[in-house]
Amino acid sequence: MRALALLVSTLLVLIQYPLWYGKGGWLRVWELEGELAEQRELNDQRRLRNAALIAEVKDLKSGTDAVEEIARMRLGMVKPGEIFVHISEPESAEASVGSVARSPSASSEQAGLTPGIQRAAPLSGGSTSPVAAVAR
């Protein structure tokens, strides 16, 4: 009777091994479910990014407002007769020590502007590059 119990328990352990550690075992299934959840999250993020890019392409194709906005934000476009005002963040006390003479806010103070605000000269004619007129 003892040998039979030992034989049955050994067979039970041998049958359980592939269930837990085999190619299609429970541990592998749990691991794959985690990977699947991560991939679904990544796919959702990419769908949102793609939708935003599709909307941007439609805006760029439909009119000049989107093109003008991108040119103003990324390239610093300024139309003739406009005045560009750049508001910069104040520097920390440690970073501004010794660099006051070279800081843009110091030159704007000398020009009579509020500290942290710089003003570019209005464009004339249109032969000058709009980017060159932007004070940074």
Range of the domain at 50: 22-62
For residue 122, pLDDT beyond 80:
no
* 134 in a structural domain: no
Strand partners for 85: 119
* 49 in a structural domain: yes
Domain count for the chain: 1
* 75 in a structural domain: no
pLDDT band at 131 (very low <50, low <70, confident <90, very high): very low
Tell me the Ramachandran region of residue 125: left when phi exceeds 0, alpha when psi lies from -120 to 50, beta otherwise.
Answer: left
| pLDDT (tens digit per residue) in 23-65 | 778 888 899 999 999 999 999 999 999 999 999 899 888 888 8
Beta strands in the chain (DSSP E): 85-87, 117-119
Strand partners for 118: 86
* 37 in a structural domain: yes
* 35 in a structural domain: yes
* 47 in a structural domain: yes
* 54 in a structural domain: yes
Mean pLDDT, rounded, of the chain: 75
Assess contact for 98 and 88: CB atoms under 8 A.
Answer: no
Measure the N-to-C terminal CA separation of the chain; round to a whole number of Å: 91
pLDDT of residue 97: 56
